[in-house]
Amino acid sequence: MSQLTGFTPWPEQDAQRYRELGYWAGETLGAMLQRKAGEHPDRIAIVCGKRRWSYAELDAKADQLAAGFARLGIGAQDRVVVQLPNVAEFFSVCFGLFRLGALPVFALPAHRRAEVSHFCRFADAKAYVIADLDGGFDYRTLAREVQAEVPALRHVVVAGEAAEFTALADLHDTPIELAGPSAGEVAFLQLSGGSTGLPKLIPRTHDDYLYSVRASADICGLDQDAVYLCALPVAHNFPLSSPGTLGVLHAGGRIVLARRPSPDEVFPLIGTEGVTITALVPPLAMVWLESARQRRPELKTLKLLQVGGAKFGAEVACRVLPELGCRLQQVFGMAEGLVNYTRPEDSDELLHHTQGRAISPHDEVRVVDDEDRDLPDGELGHLLTRGPYTIRGYYLADEHNARAFTADGYYRTGDLVRRLPSGHLTVEGRAKDQINRGGDKVAAEEVENHLLAHPAVHDAALVAMPDAYLGERSCAFIVTRGAPLRPVELMRFLRERGVAQYKIPDRIEFVTEFPKTGVGKVNKRALRERIAELIAAAD
Ligand code: OOB
């Protein structure tokens, strides 16, 4: 087994323990799908619009695409940025790459030139896979801009009308013999929500990821009858693995892909496809609750609604069962690893007021004070974790890793939590400099750096402001160099720099100077309080 350069392995002793426990089962993602296709070739794996792919069809397409990507010169451990909407091709592409041992780098559909160019450059990607159009946006235009910025990017592969690029449809070659990766190797790179200047990449191995997928599927009781509606962006860790689409494939169930998560789009789909389980972020759960007032009959097959990605408050959580008619599960996870679930046997108190407990008895969860000293249950502190599916380091990020992990390998999540004796965690805040915009993570420093690039901006500080719908939105405080500047100009500036829309500040406040802390740093707490007061006063 040759390991990817820039990956931090688990210490051998831990790796051995996880293998002995049967957690790391030695199966790759590609082999998992092949085994399932062998067991029940004709069962439907994916429903996407009018298309229905059986397990055998998905398996065959993966082999064909592995051959096609190999023909393009893509080989084991080569990185391929994959930015696809919720379409069936996401799975044939990913499993094709898994079979080859090439590594998808998962971009979100909302990412634009700034983000995608960074992923392609940083990961030294050989190819970039897109759809032609989605939601009125032409990804081929974006690909042209990215190629101009990153000339080393050799191939753009398009699901749909390819224009001058390579059509995905033409990459379905006759399958070839492939050595394939081993299960201990990195399978793909996920994105970190981040708090620093540029998003970090998260290397996940076949072994560690499949363990979290199997254990999650168990916790959620998935079996062959599971029909999972994927309404969140398919590449995100929550709908991908908690237990998500991969959990459903592992269980032999069916994935139903929705292009948009709005009730008008998905409620009819739930009814016609007999959806049993789905995952939402809190703002969407609130929209569903509103719509369900008139349309509850359409939801009658739905048994479990998972909500996570951002805090789901108890006031709303308690409405799910009576108003939607399905059970709620709170999910508190992170692409770096650790995922917590409330369990079916939990009391209403735990279900409504906590974000669940860790998947595994071998997840090591610590709640510590500012000096890394362990705190007793019930006290608010920093969440640290290590375990069988939590990374030991970001990809190619030695300097950052020294801060993001303790010397003995615990990941500093940046979340502020309380733990109950049962192990359940309540998320109460964040120490990391990030805004959680209804599940979309915005790294303050990344946006501040873009703002600072404007010639009229002297200093910038991005903070969260409370929002009834998204939980939080972002507010940029700006000190100008003197010349007058309008908020719209700054917003347009960011858009022209190719920054994803969800990272553009929702509000801009001009100030003459920033409040400072005792040691002279920008006092973001004071800025958060100031904007919260302004909003409260306006209400
Ligand atoms: C999920 O993953 P990421 O990587 O987009 O974001 C992780 C961060 C956490 O560190 C925490 O700050 C926040 O998102 N978060 C929550 C939460 N779930 C995630 N904060 C409060 N309550 C929750 N329930 O967001 C993710 C990955 C896998 C499963 C579910 C969510």
CATH code for the domain in which residue 441 is found: 3.30.300.30
Question: How far, CA to CA in Å, does 328 sit from each of 4, 236, 319, 360?
Answer: 39, 20, 9, 20
Residues with beta carbon inside 6 Å of ligand 1? Answer: 193, 237-238, 242, 308-311, 330-335, 339, 355, 413, 415, 427, 430, 436, 441
Pocket probe for ligand 1: among 209, 316, 334, 436, the residue whose CB has the most ligand atoms within 8 Å is 334
265 located within any domain: no
Report pLDDT for 460: 98
Ligand 1: centre distance to CA 172 (Å)? 36
Q: What is the pLDDT of residue 320?
A: 98
SS3 call for 475: strand
Report the separation in Å between the CA atom of 291 and the middle of ligand 1, taken as the mean of its atom positions. 25
Decide if pLDDT at 1 tops 90: no
Whether 27 has a pLDDT exceeding 90, the answer reads yes
For residue 147, what is the enclosing H or E element? helix 139-149
Ligand 1 pocket mutation pick from 201, 245, 280, 332 by most atoms within 8 angstroms of CB? 332
- Decide if pLDDT at 522 tops 90: yes
More confident residue, 31 or 198: 31
Nearest CA to ligand 1 atom 2: 334
* Ligand 1, atom nearest to 434 Cα: 12
Enumerate the H helices of 162-303 as residue ranges: 206-219, 237-241, 244-251, 263-273, 282-295
Task: Note the pLDDT of residue 210.
Answer: 98
Is 372 inside a domain boundary?
no
Instruction: Report the atom number in ligand 1 closest to the C-alpha of 414.
Output: 10
| Residue 314: pLDDT band with limits 50, 70, 90 | very high
Average pLDDT, the chain: 97
pLDDT category, 63, cuts 50, 70, 90? very high
Provide mean pLDDT across the span 257-261.
97
398 within some domain: no
Closest CA to 201 of 317, 296, 82: 82
What ipTM was reported for this prediction? 1.00
pLDDT at 280: 98
Q: Hey, what are 312's tokens?
A: 């789901």
pLDDT-based confidence at residue 421 (cuts at 50, 70, 90): very high
CA of 471 to the centre of ligand 1 (A): 13
Least confident of 22-36, 185-199, 426-440, 458-472: 185-199
**Which atom of ligand 1 is found nearest the CA of 355?**
24
The domain boundary residue, chosen from 158, 181, 204: 181
Atom nearest to 336 CA in ligand 1: 4
Does 196 have pLDDT greater than 90?
no
DSSP label at 374? B
Whether 238 is in a domain gets the answer no
* Residue 197 pLDDT greater than 90, yes or no: no
| Burial environment of residue 318 by CB neighbours within 10 A (0 to 12, 13 to 18, 19 or more) | middle
489, pLDDT greater than 90:
yes
Model pLDDT, residue 348: 98
* Res 356: pLDDT: 98
Å from CA of 60 to ligand 1 middle: 34
Categorize the per-residue pLDDT at 195 as very low, low, confident or very high, splitting at 50, 70 and 90: confident
| Preceding omega of 243 cis (within 30 degrees of 0) | yes
Ligand 1 atom 25: residue of nearest CA: 309
Are 45 and 115 in contact by the 8 Å Cβ rule? The answer is no
Question: Which residue(s) pair with 188 in the sheet?
Answer: 204
Structure tokens belonging to residue 95: 């499993």
Of ligand 1's atoms, which has the minimum distance to the CA of residue 439? 25
Final residue of a structural domain among 141, 164, 181: 181
Ligand 1: which residue has its CA nearest to atom 12? 415
Q: Which atom of ligand 1 is nearest to the CA of 190?
A: 4
Is 154 a domain residue? yes
Residue 322 belongs to a domain: no
Q: Which two tokens stand for residue 386?
A: 């290590």
- Going from the Cα of 309 to the center of ligand 1, the distance in angstroms, rounded, reads 4
Q: Whose CA is nearest to atom 19 of ligand 1?
A: 309
Residue 360 lies inside a defined structural domain of this protein: no
Total domains present in the chain: 2
Residue 426, burial from CB neighbour count under 10 angstroms (0-12, 13-18, 19+): buried
* Alpha-carbon span 465 to 437, nearest angstrom: 10
Range of the domain at 474: 434-538
Give the pLDDT band (50/70/90) at residue 2.
Answer: confident
**CA of residue 79 to ligand 1 center, whole Å:** 25
Mean pLDDT along residues 91-99: 99
Q: Whose CA is nearest to atom 3 of ligand 1?
A: 334
Atom of ligand 1 nearest to the CA of 242: 29
Domain membership of residue 49 (yes or no) is: yes
Please tell me the distance from the alpha carbon of residue 514 to that of residue 482, in angstroms, as a whole number.
Answer: 15
pLDDT of 484 over the 90 cut: no
Residue 194 has pLDDT above 90, yes or no: no
- 195-211: average pLDDT: 95
Q: Examine the fold and report which residue of 181, 205, 221 is the final residue of a domain before the chain moves on.
A: 181
- CA 160 to chain centroid, in Å, comes to 25
